C-alpha cells in the first residue's frame, strides 16, 4: 500500500490560490451574524473587502436563501468531482484504494537502492521503522518528500536549526540521489517514462534509474530478510517462519478494517459507505484492544511486521483520523490496552525518531483540501505529545496466553 500525490491536471481544483472556491464554499448563515465585534479588518487597520461587501449587501441580515442554496449546490458538486479524483470509489461511494504498480513479486534486488518516503504517509512510515530497526540507514539512504501546495510530493532543504525538531527526528530533505524537484520527476526518469499515480514509499534502483517497488508491504518484507548482509541488526526477524501464518491472519483483519478502514471513513462519498467503514473500524479496534489485554504484541511476546503495520495507523489516530477522517466514536486514548501498546512501540529505540508529528499534521490538515478547505491545522492533542507518549506503558510483564487472531476476531 502507498500514499499518492495528485496529478498536475488537478491543480485548479485543489489549489485554493488558483480558484475562487475557497471563498464561496465557506458561505453559511453563521458567517454573517452580527456579534457586535468589528470584523471588517485584519486587526492592522486593513479592511476586509469580503466582509465589507457582505455588510453592504445585507447589513446584519442573513444572505438570501437562494444564494445559500446555490453556493451549497456548487460546492457539493465540486467536492464530488475533487473526491472522485482524490479517492476513487465503488458504486456505493466506498473508497477503493488503487493497487500498487510496481511489485517485488518475491524477488530480492541486488542493485544499489534508495528509498523515497514522505512523513505524513502511514504506508511510508512502515518502511522507515523496519529500515531503522534492522539498521539499514547506511545501506539504503532515504530522501524525504513533503506535500507541496499543489498536492505533489516535493523536495525541500530544511536546515536543522530551522526545523524546530530534535536533530534525531526525520524531516523533509532534498532529493539526495537524482536532485529532482519533486517525486513525479523521479518516476519519469525510469526507462519509458511514467504517467501513473506518483506514490510513496518507493524503492529506487540508483544505477539503472528504475522503480524497484512502490508497495509498502513488499518493501518491509524485503528490508526484514533480504538485506541481512548489509544490516547492522541482522538477527532481528520481524516475520519468523513459525509466526508467518498468524502475521498474515492479522494483516487480513487489520488492513481492510483499520489501516485502510480510517481512509474508508475519511474518503467515503456516501453516508452508507461511511457507516459501513466506521462500524468495521471500531468493532475491530474493540477486539484488538481485548486481545492486547492478555498479549504483549499481536502475535504474543514478539514484535512482528503486523505490529509495525498497526502502529503507523494508531500513532496517527487521535492526531489525524479521529478529527479529519470522522473516526469519532472513540479516541485511541480511551482504549487502555491499545494506547499502552502503541506507547511501548513508540518507545522502542529509533521508532520515535521516525515520527514527525507537525509534518504529519501539515500533510493532512493543510494539504487535503477537499476534507479541510480552510487549511487550518488544529492544536496537537496533549495525548500525542512526546512527553505523554514516553510515559511507561507497563506492559513488560504482559504474557501471551495462547490467544491468537482466530480466537478473537
Only one residue has cell 491536471, namely 9
State the Cα–Cα distance between residues 40 and 18, nearest whole angstrom: 24
Give yes or no for a contact between 267 and 84, defined as CB atoms under 8 angstroms apart.
no
Give yes or no for a contact between 181 and 199, defined as CB atoms under 8 angstroms apart.
no
Give yes or no for a contact between 319 and 357, defined as CB atoms under 8 angstroms apart.
yes
Q: How, if at all, do strands 199-200 and 3-4 pair?
A: antiparallel
The beta-strand segments (E) located in 210-285 are 210-213
State the Cα–Cα distance between residues 84 and 227, nearest whole angstrom: 39
Q: Give the CA distances from residue 199 to residues 6, 8, 215, 384, 386, in Å, rounded to whole numbers and listed in that order.
A: 9, 14, 9, 27, 28
Report the first-to-last Cα separation within the chain, whole angstroms: 23
Active site residues: 121, 263
- Count the Cβ atoms, other than its own, within 10 Å of residue 168: 9
Which residues, 6 or more positions from 238, have their beta carbon under 8 angstroms from its beta carbon? 130, 133, 220, 224, 303, 304, 305, 308
Beta bridge partners of 297: 300
The alpha carbon of residue 135 and the mean position of all alpha carbons in its chain are separated, in whole angstroms, by 24
On the CB side of 163, how many CA atoms lie within 13 Å of its CA? 18
- Count the Cβ atoms, other than its own, within 10 Å of residue 94: 19
State the Cα–Cα distance between residues 24 and 26, nearest whole angstrom: 5
Instruction: Give the SS3 label for residue 116.
Output: strand
Packed helices 244-254 and 271-291: angle between N→C axes, nearest 10 degrees: 140
Give yes or no for a contact between 51 and 39, defined as CB atoms under 8 angstroms apart.
yes
Which residues, 6 or more positions from 61, have their beta carbon under 8 angstroms from its beta carbon? 32
Amino acid at each position: 500500500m502507498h500514499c499518492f500525490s495528485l496529478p498536475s491536471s488537478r491543480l485548479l481544483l485543489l489549489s485554493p490560490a488558483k480558484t475562487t472556491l475557497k471563498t464561496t464554499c465557506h458561505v453559511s448563515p453563521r458567517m454573517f451574524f452580527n456579534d457586535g465585534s468589528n470584523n471588517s479588518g485584519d486587526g492592522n487597520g486593513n479592511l476586509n473587502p469580503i466582509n465589507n461587501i457582505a455588510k453592504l449587501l445585507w447589513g446584519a441580515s442573513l444572505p438570501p436563501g437562494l444564494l445559500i442554496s446555490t453556493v451549497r449546490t456548487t460546492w457539493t458538486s465540486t467536492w464530488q468531482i475533487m473526491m472522485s479524483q482524490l479517492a476513487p470509489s465503488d458504486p456505493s461511494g466506498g473508497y477503493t484504494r488503487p493497487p500498487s504498480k510496481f511489485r517485488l513479486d518475491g524477488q530480492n534486488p541486488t542493485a544499489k537502492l534508495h528509498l523515497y518516503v514522505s512523513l505524513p504517509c502511514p504506508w511510508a512510515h512502515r518502511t522507515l521503522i523496519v529500515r531503522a530497526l534492522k539498521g539499514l540507514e547506511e545501506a539504503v539512504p532515504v530522501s524525504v518528500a513533503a506535500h507541496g501546495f499543489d498536492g505533489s510530493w516535493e523536495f525541500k532543504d530544511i536546515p536543522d536549526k530551522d526545523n524546530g525538531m530534535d536533530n534525531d527526528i526525520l524531516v523533509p530533505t532534498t532529493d539526495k540521489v537524482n536532485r529532482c524537484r519533486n517525486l513525479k520527476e523521479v518516476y519519469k526518469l525510469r526507462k519509458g517514462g511514467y504517467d501513473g499515480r506518483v506514490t510513496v514509499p518507493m524503492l529506487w534502483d540508483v544505477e539503472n534509474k528504475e522503480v524497484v517497488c512502490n508497495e509498502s508491504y513488499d518493501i518491509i518484507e524485503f528490508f526484514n530478510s533480504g538485506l541481512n548482509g548489509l544490516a547492522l541488526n541482522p538477527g532481528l526477524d520481524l516475520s519468523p517462519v513459525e509466526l508467518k501464518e498468524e502475521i498474515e491472519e492479522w494483516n487480513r483483519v487489520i488492513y481492510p478494517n483499520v489501516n485502510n478502514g480510517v481512509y474508508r471513513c475519511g474518503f467515503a462519498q456516501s453516508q452508507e459507505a461511511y457507516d459501513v467503514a466506521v462500524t468495521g473500524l471500531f468493532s475491530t479496534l474493540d477486539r484488538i484492544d481485548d486481545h492486547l489485554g492478555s498479549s504483549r504484541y499481536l502475535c504474543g511476546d514478539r514484535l512482528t511486521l503486523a505490529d509495525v503495520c498497526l502502529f503507523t495507523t494508531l500513532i496517527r489516530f487521535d492526531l489525524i483520523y479521529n478529527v479529519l477522517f470522522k473516526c469519532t466514536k472513540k479516541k485511541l486514548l480511551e482504549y487502555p490496552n491499545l494506547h499502552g501498546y502503541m506507547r511501548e512501540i513508540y518507545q522502542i529505540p529509533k521508532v520515535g525518531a521516525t515520527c514527525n508529528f507537525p509534518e504529519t499534521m501539515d500533510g493532512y490538515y493543510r494539504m487535503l483540501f477537499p476534507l479541510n478547505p480552510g487549511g487550518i491545522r488544529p492544536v496537537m492533542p496533549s495525548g500525542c505529545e512526546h512527553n505523554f507518549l514516553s510515559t511507561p506503558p507497563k506492559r513488560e510483564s504482559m504474557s501471551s496466553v495462547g490467544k491468537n487472531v482466530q480466537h478473537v476476531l
